[in-house]
Structure 1
């Protein structure tokens, strides 16, 4: 099988803009839905808060378990049919949320949404670009993450506006229609893959090239998986607890919310940095920079105290923004385009499992320790993760 031909810049940019727009909407109506809708569900149903939010964790668990099979499907069929299936499954899950009664209906809807997220969020989009454009997919991946970085900026206000008007069930049904009539047609515009990448991860980049040593492939993949999984533990924990932790530093409620709100713009700023200044650097170099920003922010906070809360959030957000791109770009640079969808599916499994379990597992620790100790431990964990990147090198020739 021949590798993907060098893409025309205009075509690659067009595909990235299509995927970026679709990803923004898909993230807004799935991953970012519970932040606004779940509290209303708890209030209206009188259900247990843990069960309501646990349904979302179950969705992430299902997404992680399905990710390797999704990667294999993209390798066999190309990304377009898988993304189309994701839109249909997401719409079905949202419709179930809107139509089925009780907490069992809520849980069933999220189980379906978990499959839809596995089929259609970042890993699937990155794998699609890898199949289409090979090693030239780095810049389209960055473009997709730049656009989708505004998913929460769009999703939370949109949900907050629709829920008082339509109710949470009507909002879910409206989102199902949005996926069917906007996201699905966008995915129909994604080019078909002429030659899906079927080789195993670490296969030769060109026909006739010797494959990299199997031991190098296993070691490099393990280091990457540990790095991104540890970072997922930190980001999943802080996504739930960051406002409380910042308040524990001594900030007022308004100041804690204001500081936490800087995370989103900082993520986009990190991605812009990678898109502009980082484009000439090797993806590993950019990932190491992104990995170093969080430990630096935690050290600053430990040394300076609450006065460094805003710089910490800015550095943390920029770190997350760069590493979102690195999740797609580093495996592509190290292992090449052949087998890339399969590898992305395998890499997504521990990451999504960590995202599903970390907020619950770390909650007692966050409650028991002083806020500065929590953030200091987060910095140490991020430093340990960074240590996994340092030994990584391109494949030996």
Structure 2
């Protein structure tokens, strides 16, 4: 392999972002628009239908470290190319599912595709191939992929309305088969960085400051839990604050533009250490949640601030570890670091639903605000540690 492969150009980065939109839209974000038609058609209990998504996230969490090791040994090109087929097979199984166990199996297979093709796998691949130069590609990809729900939700909902959810699964799966593998094979170079091959995760652990590893893992896990809770329960939380359903939906729509807007600003913000972007991200999330919790009349402002911070979260997930680790550490540990985040995401809908029922919307928002404040403190601790190390 070329020792210094050329980064994809603007068009190539945009295509990688589009591939992320397609895979996210056919997996993690799919249930938001497909659950209701499935429940109405099959009569399956809603907790089982939504629980299928938690199952897929859990499968992805369990596989994430193994996928990182696979990328370290063989490079991420084939791994990412296979992700579309993994999700597609799950969608085909879902389309033909006439029983709940088969439906759950379909989502377990989709979880395999998610492990092979979502952010952690792509970031590990880019880090292996390009090292620190991958930061520009990661920023551009997350900017494009920020439109995943904006594009996929209305399109999938429209298709379901015309041909039903089962045929939509078939059509989406066929699209993934046709598009994902050829584009990844075209855009990503062959092989892996030679310095990564042959390294064991144990050897990498010795090289990496364990304080940095655990701080990064906790910061990302808390951010993932907060994001998942807000994504799943925001409308219910706002209704608990006294807003009508229509008003809650309207306010929720502020998140997308604010997330993409903060990523656009990041593109033009110049070079700075990603720890500062991380501090801005968790700070905006905390301030936004406190505003929503303590001043419901300013909910729109609070959601704009939260959305801007959450938009930066996807970027720092890729850039901060890349700045603090060698390429070897980055590739081998990204999957292991992602496991607590994914397990937290899998559990959040169940735990969040229980807490909403027992302590109410204000209690849930207060808990999320406390977690956000804790994340600010963790990032502050990491910042101090970085400064001491660099002095």
Superposition TM-score, scaled by structure 1 size: 0.91
Matches within 5 A, 1:192-203: 192-196=189-193, 197-198=196-197, 199=199
| Match of residue 106 from structure 1 | 103
Q: Is the 8 A contact 1:263 1:314 kept in 2?
A: yes
Q: Give the match's secondary structure for 2:177.
A: helix
Find the partner of 1:290 among 281, 297, 301: 281
Determine the structure 2 residue equivalent to 1:281.
272
Contact 1:202 1:338 in 2 (8 A): no
Instruction: Name the residue aligned to 1:206.
Output: none
Of 231, 234, 239 in structure 2, the residue corresponding to residue 247 of structure 1 is: 239
Confirm or deny that 1:93 pairs with 2:90.
yes
Q: Aligned to 1:343, which of 301, 308, 333? A: 333
The Cα offsets for residues 359-379 of structure 1, whole Å up to 9 and x where unpaired, read as 111222222334334323211
Secondary structure, counterpart of 1:369 in structure 2 = helix
Instruction: Identify the residue that residue 363 of structure 1 maps to in structure 2.
Output: 353
Rate the CA distance shift 1:262–1:4 in 2: closer, same or farther, 3 A. farther
Distance 1:269 1:22 in 2: 21
Matched, 1:116 2:107: no
SS at match of 1:280: coil
Q: Distance in 2 between matches of 1:189 and 1:285?
A: 34
RMSD: 2.2
Tell whether 2:140 aligns with 1:146. no
**How far off is 1:334 after superposition?**
0.2
Residue matched to 2:217: 225
Task: Tell me the number of residue pairs that the alignment of Structure 1 and Structure 2 aligns.
Answer: 384
Whether the 8 Å contact between 2:76 and 2:192 is mirrored in structure 1 is no
The one-character-per-residue Cα deviations of 1:330-351 (angstroms, maximum 9, x if unpaired) are: 0010012123222110111111
3-state SS of 1:47 partner = coil
Using the size of structure 2 for normalisation, the TM-score is 0.92
Shift of 1:302: 4.3
Runs of 5+ in structure 2 lacking a partner?
none
Aligned pairs for 1:1-397 within 5 A: 5=4, 8=6, 11-196=8-193, 197-198=196-197, 199=199, 214=207, 217-277=209-269, 279-303=270-294, 305-392=295-382, 393-394=385-386
